[in-house]
Amino acid sequence: MPPPRRKKSGSRDPPFDLKTLQVYEAVCTTGSMTEAARRFRMTQPAVSHTIGLLERNLGVTLVDRRMRPLGVTPAGAALRRRAERILEEAFQTIPAVLKSARTKLPHVRVGLVHSVAASLGPTLAKVLSEAAAHTTMLADLTAGLSEALLRRQIDIVVSADDRQDVDGIERHAILVEPFILAVPRGREAAAQSGLATLARDLPFLRYSSRSQTGLMVERHIRRLGLDVPRYMEFDLSSALLAAVGDGHGWALTTPLCLHEAHVAHHRVVPMPLSAPGLTRRLTLLAHRGEVGDLPRALAERARRTVEAKLLPEIRSLIPWLGKAIEIDPRTP
């Protein structure tokens, strides 16, 4: 394919703006103009036009449209590297300027995974009130939070997926917690006999496959070779553990999920999960530098809250847990 003809102009204006670079970077990341359009709420033809205009203005072919997923040419790869640096610098400009002026950030959007929304939300709100003039706090499943972060519809998330596959993200580890068994009171003997016996004795209640926790549990069950037919699935720990308490079955959950569910503790018995165990990591994520030092401050406050408030409450619910929850572990 011959390179696009460069648009002639006597102007010294740059051949692109920041939005064009954002769209181009999204096409490179996703390998799809349709997916890039979805991220920016544009139409696919509009994205295609944006990329075509960028190519004409630069006088080079950037995207190899013959490949699926879409590939980039050597010129396209060079632009992508520079675009990432330009966008990172642009997004860091506002917090840097406001910090110099000792001014609050205008609006910060924070998303928390459901299992810590009620317990960490209020204490993080105190930090946010000092740093931002306007704060929005949302609770969602990890998948929804990750997608919103990548689309820049949210600035900071605390979730169960540290998105090591995405560049330009700063990560602040908060904790690692083990998975545990949750069984109806009176069915402890079956659980002590092993998961295979428990699975024959009671139905297995699942977190839905929409949730990161549900995906982790499903992989663990398959790894153990357990035959557990699908019966009931839940997005939220409160509904899942209420069903356990009502005797509908047993589940794999975590101490934080049990704490957040506020289920009547005389109805649900938490028990250790036999080896091989399973753990869940909670991490605070943000686009690097875009909200200044706020992610670090929020992560520090979250860790202090977990250690000073949540761990004593969780240990009162699960006395045998000991030091199984690790605060501020190293991110792999």
- Are residues 196 and 234 located together in one domain of the fold? yes
Which CATH number characterizes residue 139's domain?
3.40.190.10
Tell me: pLDDT of 180 over 60: yes
Question: Average pLDDT, stretch 297-312?
Answer: 93
Report the pLDDT value the prediction gives residue 191, as an integer from 0 to 100: 81
Other residues' Cβ atoms within 10 Å of the Cβ of residue 198: 23
Report the pLDDT value the prediction gives residue 99, as an integer from 0 to 100: 65
Which stretch, 96-100, 163-167, 306-310, has highest mean pLDDT?
306-310
> What span, in angstroms and rounded, lies between the C-alpha atoms of 300 and 128?
13
Residue 331: HSE in the Cβ half-sphere, 13 Å Cα cutoff? 15
- Are residues 112 and 232 located together in one domain of the fold? no
Strand boundaries in the chain, DSSP class E: 63-64, 71-72, 108-113, 135-140, 156-159, 169-178, 180-184, 205-207, 232-234, 251-253, 268-272, 279-287, 326-327
Number of compact structural domains in the chain: 3
Question: Average pLDDT, stretch 293-313?
Answer: 93
- Give a yes or no: residue 6 inside a domain: no
Per-residue pLDDT tens digits for 219-268: 999 988 888 888 999 999 999 999 999 999 999 999 999 998 887 677 89
Backbone φ/ψ region at 152: left (φ over 0), alpha (ψ -120 to 50), beta: left
Report the pLDDT value the prediction gives residue 332, as an integer from 0 to 100: 41
Per-residue pLDDT tens digits for 53-76: 999 889 899 998 888 888 889 898
Can you spell out the DSSP letters for 251-289? EEE-HHHHHHHT--TTTEEEEEPPSS--EEEEEEEEETT
Report the pLDDT value the prediction gives residue 329, as an integer from 0 to 100: 60
The lowest-confidence range among 96-105, 122-131, 241-250, 271-280 is 96-105
Q: Residue 212's domain spans which residues?
A: 180-277
Sign of the alpha-carbon torsion through 59, 60, 62, 63: positive
Tell me: pLDDT of 40 over 90: no
CA 145, distance to chain mean position in Å, is 5
- Are residues 291 and 173 located together in one domain of the fold? yes
Q: What are the phi and psi torsion angles at 167 (to 5°)?
A: -80, 160
**DSSP code of residue 136:** E
- Are residues 90 and 109 located together in one domain of the fold? no
- Are residues 173 and 195 located together in one domain of the fold? no
Tell me: pLDDT of 280 over 80: yes
Tell me: pLDDT of 161 over 90: no
**DSSP code of residue 327:** E
* Domain termination site, one of 277, 298, 316: 277
Report the pLDDT value the prediction gives residue 4, as an integer from 0 to 100: 56
